[in-house]
Structure 1
Amino acid sequence: MPAAGEDALDALNALVRPDLEACNRLIVERMQSPVALIPQLAAHIVAAGGKRLRPLLTLAAARLCGYPAGGRRHVALAACVEFIHTATLLHDDVVDESALRRGQASANALFGNKASVLVGDFLFARAFQLMVEDGSLKVLAILSAAAATIAEGEVLQLVTQNDTATTEAQYLRVIEGKTAALFAAATRVGAVVAERPETEEAALDAYGRNLGIAFQLVDDALDYAAEQERLGKTVGDDFREGKITLPVLLAFARGDAEEREFWRRTLEAREQGAADLAQAQALMRRHRALEDTLARARAYGEAALSALAAFPDGAERRALAGIVAFCVDRAR
């Protein structure tokens, strides 16, 4: 794959730096409210070290499609994408009872669940204001559909949580909804603002969707494999919450009756002892569940790269290709 890891993210940042700086200014401006708690809480999560990956994708996709340098629509829509993402993070941390976000105390841990939910609602509202200001019904359709799909994915994850009978197809529906839908929308609107043909919209949708799935597969593997400092949240959160992810599904399917009973006890009954996370990690090593999850992520990454073949070679296409390596290489 092209340039690896952080170098690829740095390259993309450098390519769209003026646009990203304008996007960041707009985010700060639209976070403001006469209700002091709103900008205070929003600033906590927005300033917590996020990579701005999704808005970067919008900015780069617009550039890839020839959107004029003096245009501002892509900047506003990149901010819109970041607001949607940030709102979902606030809500997710409440649902998951997370204490950490990006290595810092989560907003709900500092400000409480009620404030986090309500400020998340505020950020969703800001996102929709930006969509309306753009004035394109097509943009509104794409981003509002993504927002609805994200919510559906989160609800489906709630329904399948703690259920070891969950299928891989159901799991994929969860991550396509909660993660990949926004990646796809973020890249697709870049083609829309540049007024490119449907074929290019579809190619960028496919790129974003496959990239998002690869990103989430790696995240789900890292929850059992990474150090807490690198992961930016408590290692084993998915295990403690009883989330059914692909590493669990693979280890469960390949395990014997005793091992399956272990997964039922720890994930379904939520009866977990101090040594159970280590046991879960050992079972995943025994059955190559993490390696195979990462192999699946690489396959989706290759599909994302293939989608970029619809565009001529250039700095933007190379930067977007490098982001595939960035998303997959986080597991190394």
Structure 2
Amino acid sequence: MTLSSRGRRTLSLFSSSAPSNWSKAVADAEKIVGYPTSFMSLRCLLSDELSNVAIQVKRLVGTQHPLLHTARDFVFDSRNNLPTRGLIVLLLSKAAGPSHTASDLLAQDTVSGIHTSQRNLAEITELIHTAFLVHRGIVDLKEWTVSDGPLKDMEFGNKIAVLSGDFLLANACTGLAQLNNTKVVELISSAIGDVVQGIYNENTSNTEENSLDVKAWEEHTFLSHGALLAKSCQAAMELAQHDKEAQSMAYTFGKHLSMGHKLNSDLLPFVKSSAGESATFSFSAAPVVFHRQIVGQERWSQQLQQVKTRRNELDYSKLLAAVKSEKGVSTAMDLCCYHGNKALEAIQAFPSSEARSGLENIASAITKF
């Protein structure tokens, strides 16, 4: 379903190396919604079908297939906060509260300020996100060499990645249909299409030769990282029968929050790395894209040649230093703060509450480096 390259590409896990203020904001938010989002992952992991998938994944132990690392992070690394998208949907639902025009039947099915359908939507959003994380682990076998490990291990890993990712996506679509809301189905279905298009665009531009300009970067990033959260936030308002204005504010919040978070993730190797530390970053990371546009394609090509080793491989530590020497990093930081502020502005019309404060803390956390 999705393509993957063996290039240096990071997966936005929301967030794999987030600063402590982000982790605190997420932990506080879970208390506010009264629904630990780890439960969403647990429900999925306890299903018989996925347990069978997990048994198959164990066969990859000892190989270098990326799916094994994705599964390990999903189960063991609580710092990744994988369910954060669902958490934001829940928090936004609680902050907005019920619509003034909501029916009595809708109000009766509300617990702790969040409607059951909105909780289901949060789980659906997480299932979709996790499905794409699994699909992103598919290895491009055309680039595989004997030194990378046995080919049969990679082929088996790819089969499991496709099947398990499709299984999660199918379950999400089933749950989506059960919400019985045509507009919500349209929103989330279009978000799935956006993610597919965004990931395809990433894979065709994440190389030395294929360069992105800033406008294209923003378009691709929204598709692959922003559309799902933005449209899920809008869908949460639709389920509570809020008007178009509230839905627009929710969409705007989700869009800018996800864009800001992606910028924050892209910036981490450039603002947290120390001298001599091994650098890992993508050519489609925001600081690299902005740096390349600032210095121009000709100078960028010269810099790539200067940091190549005798084996014609790139020295990423030297390349990172070259990018940090210009304004690409500061430009990305400014844009991150812009999106964080826009996210904060979008929710000011919601009533002042603990839930809104939780959203504000999360939006503020993405501007900290």
TM-score by length of 1: 0.81
Counterpart among 211, 216, 221 of residue 170 in structure 1? 216
Give yes or no for contact 2:94–2:355 (8 Å, CA) kept in 1: yes
Match of 1:129 in 2: 174
Cα distance in 2 for residues equivalent to 1:137 and 1:266: 53
- Alignment-derived partner of residue 84 in structure 2: 53
Aligned to 2:284: 244
Q: Secondary structure of the equivalent of 1:195?
A: coil
Other-structure match for 2:254: 208
CA pair 87-55 structure 1, distance change in 2 beyond 3 A? same
Q: Structure 1 residues 296 and 264 mapped into 2: Cα distance closer, same or farther (>3 Å)?
A: farther
Instruction: Please give the secondary structure, in 2, of the residue aligned with 1:309.
Output: coil
Give % identity.
20
- Contact in 2 for aligned 1:23/1:75 (Cα 8 Å): no
Change (3 A) 1:73 1:258: closer
Structure 1 CA distance, aligned partners of 2:302 and 2:244?
A: 49
Residue by residue over 1:56-88, the C-alpha shift from the partner in whole angstroms, topping out at 9 and shown as x without a partner, is: 011111112214326321221111101111011
Alignment equivalent of 1:80, drawn from 113, 124, 130: 124
Given that 2:213 and 2:293 are in contact with CA atoms closer than 8 Å, whether structure 1 keeps it comes out as no
CA contact (8 A) 2:117 2:239 kept: yes
Give the corresponding residue for 1:272: 313
- State the Cα distance separating 1:253 from its structure 2 match: 3.0
Residue in 2 aligned with 1:66?
A: 97
Is 2:138 the partner of 1:94?
yes
Alignment of 1:163-242 (within 5 A): 163-226=209-272, 235-238=279-282
Alignment of 1:253-272 (within 5 A): 253-255=293-295, 257-263=298-304, 271-272=312-313
Provide the aligned length of Structure 1 versus Structure 2: 304
After superposition, the C-alpha distances for 1:150-199 in whole angstroms (9 at most, x for unaligned) are 00111111222224542111111110000011120232222122111110
Partner of 1:302: 341
1:5 pairs, out of 16, 22, 25, with 22
Matches within 5 A, 1:141-160: 141-160=186-205
Question: In 1, are the aligned partners of 2:37 and 2:84 still within 8 Å (CA)?
Answer: no
Moved more, 143-152 or 309-318: 309-318
* Alpha-carbon distance, 1:134 to partner: 1.2
On the 8 A contact 2:307/2:319 being kept in 1, the answer is no
- Equivalents in 2 of 1:290, 1:237: separation in Å? 13
Q: Look up the equivalent residue of 1:260 and give its one-letter code.
A: S
CA contact (8 A) 1:8 1:325 kept: no
Cα displacement (A) at 1:6: 2.7
In structure 2, the CA distance between the partners of 1:111 and 1:11, relative to structure 1 (3 Å rule), is: farther
Aligned partners of 2:56 and 2:86: how far apart in 1?
22
Q: Which runs of 5+ in 1 are unaligned?
A: 98-107, 229-233
The amino acid of 1:247's aligned partner reads P
Amino acid at match of 2:291: A
Q: CA deviation at 1:264?
A: 7.2
2:26 is the alignment partner of 1:33: no
Task: Supply the AA of the counterpart residue of 1:57.
Answer: I
Kindly state the Cα deviation for residue 266 of structure 1 after the two structures are TM-superposed. Answer: 7.6
Change (3 A) 1:21 1:86: closer
Q: Is the 8 A contact 1:217 1:294 kept in 2?
A: yes
Match of 2:353 among 304, 314, 318: 314
Say which SS state the counterpart of residue 97 (structure 2) adopts: coil
Please state how far the C-alpha of 1:25 moved relative to its aligned partner.
5.0
**CA separation of 1:278 and 1:189: change in aligned 2, threshold 3 A:** same
Larger radius of gyration: 2
Per the alignment, do residues 285 and 22 of structure 1 end up closer, same or farther by CA in structure 2, a change over 3 Å counting? closer
The 1-side partners of 2:32 and 2:265 are apart by 26
Structure 2 residue aligned with 1:102: none
SS at match of 2:49: coil
